[in-house]
Chains A and B, each alone.
Chain A
Amino acid sequence: MVSRFCLLGMVIFSAAVSAQDDFPLKNFLRAQGTISPGISLSEKGSNIYLHGDLEYYLENNVSVRGESYFLIGGNHVDQGITEFTNYFGVVYHFVGNKKFDPYFGFQPGIAVRHYAVNCIDITRVDCPIGYTLSPQFSVITGVNFFLNKYLHFFGMMRYINGHDASFTVDYPMNELRFSAGLGWNLRLKN
């Protein structure tokens, strides 16, 4: 039954893609800002981030993309952590010249965290603050749907594998993050 649904989905997907007019993506600059939930894979609970990205299509099938996340709520905020994460890498777009734009990307990242060190009560003002720089492995997959030359819908998922290497606060950083919404795009060259 599941395989039949998959097959039907693939047929509909390929029919939808082939029915579209050409919409070359080369030289597009696209950006978005949204709020993203993150589900931790190594501890119970979730986190909430402000998420923004900027992407430039070098070719119809290839783009470079940088993204930032700023922790604003959830488990880690309750634990007294402030976190800012940046990712940069390359994205491969499977179709490339249609409005429907599914993709896969690889983006190594680095998380900057600061937190209260060795404090039972993190609300105490005299808690010493520690900083860590933690490298992260990250892959993304998602889809854009370009409405016109200026706007698009997007949905994406990111898998993160990393480790906060601070001895005093030893956190695994394995997480799934989800983002969706409305983005902006602009063709820089014809």
Chain B
Amino acid sequence: MKRAILSFILLLLADFAFAQKPVKNPYAGMISLGMRSTYSSFSDGTFNDWETGYGGQLRVQFSEKINSDWFADYLTGSVGSLADRQDVHIGWSIMYYPLNQPGFENFLKPYIVAGHCFDWTNMEVTSSLGTETGKKFSSAVQMGLGTHFNLTDRMDLSLTTQYMIHLGKDIHIRDYPEGGSYLYYDDHLDLEGHMLFTLSCNYKIVELW
């Protein structure tokens, strides 16, 4: 009787063990390197003056569903005909894959993305009175949607659309009554938001763990 109970328990244990999903995730630890172009609709809320950006990213995948981008961008643009502007973004984003698509075999692999970013801004306004330069630091959060276009199992193009909100003391451009413009600094924290469109090419170089 004891032998029968023991055999039954062993059978149950074996069955339970085989029924479990594998613990190791085959996509965790995948490291990718990429280059990116970014278009930003900064410039005081108008969509006429886009900033163009150049940058790179390191992609670290944590699990089958969760990936991350660690990025840096340098963006330049103009604010109407009043000033020019340069931004440097350094930050990170988490990508979550909502669909049950194992691996990167499907051509499209959509994701939800959100993260944080630090921004350094330089603005320069030139008038008959000379050239004035203003700098500011701000921190930002961003969130959006994107998709990979998997060209091979190791290479993808990724298109991401995000909205980014910066928290910092803003710089504005104001006009002199007699003509010309000058930079005006806010004395309080404020929010400044803009759209970001990023196209990147990425190559999976190594699986670290």
**Which A residues form the contact surface with B (CB < 8 A)?**
58-59, 61-62, 64, 88-90, 92, 106-110, 132-138, 161-163, 165-168, 170
Contact = CB atoms under 8 A, between A and B. Distances in A.
B155 A136 contact: no
Most buried by A among B37, B50, B124: B37
Contacts of A132: 76
Nearest to A138: B37
Interface in B183-208: 199, 201-203
The 3 lowest CB-CB distance pairs between A and B, nearest first, are A135-B54, A165-B76, A90-B201
A90 B125 contact: no
A90 B155 contact: yes
Given A88-B35, A90-B203, A163-B78, A135 B52 contact: yes
Given A135-B76, A165-B86, 12 more contacts: A58-B154, A59-B152, A62-B152, A62-B203, A106-B157, A135-B54, A136-B52, A161-B52, A163-B77, A165-B84, A167-B125, A168-B126
A85 B57 CA distance: 21
A134 B151 contact: no
A41 B54 CA distance: 21
Interface residues of B, number: 33
Interface of B: 35-37, 39, 50-55, 74-78, 81, 83-86, 124-126, 131, 151-152, 154-155, 157, 199, 201-203
B78 A92 contact: no
Given A62-B152, A62-B154, A106-B157, A133 B76 contact: yes
A96 B125 CA distance: 51
B151 A137 contact: no
Nearest to B38: A135
Given A135-B53, A165-B78, A165-B85, A89 B125 contact: no
Contacts of A137: 37, 39, 52, 199
Nearest to B56: A108
12 contacts: A58-B154, A61-B155, A64-B203, A92-B151, A92-B152, A106-B199, A135-B74, A135-B76, A136-B54, A167-B124, A168-B126, A170-B81
A43 to B, nearest CB: 16
